[in-house]
Amino acid sequence: PKIIFSGIQPTGVPHLGNYLGALKQWKDMQDTAHHSDRLFFSIVDLHALTIPGNADKLRKNRREMLTSLLAIGLNPERSTIFYQSSVSQHAELQWILSCTASTGYLSRMTQWKSKLSQSSPFQSDQPTISSPALKHGLFSYPILQAADILLHTATHVPVGSDQKQHLEFARECVTNFHSAWSIPSSRPIFPYPQTISLDSSSRIMSLADPTKKMSKSDPNPKSKIFINDNEGVIRQKIKSALTDSVSKVVGEYDSVNRPGVANLLEILGGFSGRTGREVAEEIKGESLLGLKTLTADTVVDGLAEVRERFMLFGQDTEVNRQRVREIEDIGTRNARESAERTMEKVRRAIGLS
Ligand code: ATP
Ligand code: MG
């Protein structure tokens, strides 16, 4: 049986790119999993601390992400949905793994460099490991990520291309740990986690500038559709999406010369499991206005249930708060149980019990 693990940072309500590129795949995985497979979806709030300073916002974002995961159709009776910080074993295993993880390897990884240059764009030099702005939590982020995965002995981890390097690092952590503590390969503590690539799923671009990806960190609200946007807002945003006037009809799929059109085709395809190219073939000759209407209809329809559940789980009523607390409790309990099973073996293997 497979053990599937994935995490998402609590950084606000997910947008259409997060949905089509990741969350919808989580839901599909849940629905097509064999009954003996286990699924873990974590709201990785410890990772969120790498951007520190706003406690109220983090509190709100955690809760909003839980609402979002329930809204996209994750079922707490089928999938273990939990806050990373509720399961202290994540931090415990991170420390243990950090004692056998290579600093050199971490220093060659790209994420801390790009995050650092994003946060201080005026620095002309490449960020280095001795930059005062580089905090250790950001640097060692991949170790915590490895701990997340290994703690639940995940066998399969769905990730986008930006995370493949981190999965490779997690496998390196398995090797280092087993070797340092002389764990026989016949009786490994951690399986090597496999990557499930989400790259074949759509990459959704900004509605305001289709040469950039749709992104949470883009401050322009018109650049993205949130999964809880209402019908009017969705229609408005798609209507004003930047396309082009190259030709007033849809032709071949051409993401280089007609990125705005290609993006709408990708969005359309994302809801039906087709590529933008396939959709282009199908609606060749359609007007741009027709394409926008079709896209708006599809997104409104495709997100209808998500939006409905978002309203339901997001309600601020006593009954709902109680229900959400129960869901949090189930997730925490299941995740702790899974974590403790692994940690007992780990502690025994390294002399801590
Ligand atoms: P940020 O701009 O802060 O990096 P983000 O919008 O990229 O935020 P993440 O939290 O980095 O969101 O990503 C969450 C998941 O959504 C990841 O699996 C990522 O690959 C996927 N994802 C993010 N943006 C898109 C997009 N535009 N199209 C498809 N998938 C996306
Ligand atoms: Mg991102």
Place of tokens 């609402």: 67
Ligand 2 centre from 231 Cα, in Å?
26
The model's pLDDT over 60-112, given as tens digits with 9 standing for 90+, comes to 999 999 999 999 999 999 999 999 999 999 999 999 999 999 999 999 999 99
Asked if pLDDT for residue 122 goes beyond 80, the answer is no
Active site residues: 115, 213, 216
Q: 221-308 adopts what CATH topology?
A: Tyrosyl-Transfer RNA Synthetase (1.10.240)
- Phi, psi angle pair for 15, to nearest 5°: -100, 180
Residues whose CB is less than 8 angstroms from the CB of residue 241 and which lie 6 or more positions away in sequence, other chains included: 207, 208, 210, 260, 263, 264, 292
Q: Tokens in use for 265?
A: 């085709």
Assign domain 3-101+140-202+317-350 to a CATH class. Answer: alpha beta
What ipTM was assigned to the predicted interfaces of this complex?
0.97
Task: Report residue 300's pLDDT band, with 50, 70 and 90 as the boundaries.
Answer: very high
Q: Burial level of 35, CB count in 10 A (0-12/13-18/19+)?
A: exposed
135: β partners:
none
Ordered by start, the domain boundaries in the chain are 3-101+140-202+317-350, 221-308
CA distance 282 to 2: 37
25 with 198: CB under 8 angstroms? yes
Residue type, 14: P
- DSSP class of residue 22 equals I
Secondary element (H or E) of residue 147: helix 141-151
The number of the ligand nearest the C-alpha atom of 224 reads 1
Ligand 1 atom at shortest distance from the alpha carbon of 213:
27
The model's pLDDT over 323-349, given as tens digits with 9 standing for 90+, comes to 999 999 999 999 999 999 999 999 999
Domains 3-101+140-202+317-350 and 221-308 share a fold: no
Pocket test for ligand 1, best of 115, 215, 220 (most atoms within 8 A of CB): 215
Per-residue pLDDT, averaged over 157-171, amounts to 94
Residue type, 292: K
Secondary element (H or E) of residue 90: helix 89-98
- Phi, psi angle pair for 41, to nearest 5°: -125, 115
Residues whose CB is less than 8 angstroms from the CB of residue 2 and which lie 6 or more positions away in sequence, other chains included: 33, 34, 37, 38, 155, 156
Q: Which residues line ligand 1 (CB under 6 A)?
A: 8-9, 11, 17-18, 21-22, 160, 203-204, 213-217
Pocket test for ligand 1, best of 18, 69, 198, 266 (most atoms within 8 A of CB): 18
CA distance 265 to 254: 10
The rounded percent of the chain whose pLDDT value lies above 90 is 91
255 with 276: CB under 8 angstroms? yes
Give pTM, 2 decimals: 0.96
126 with 113: CB under 8 angstroms? yes
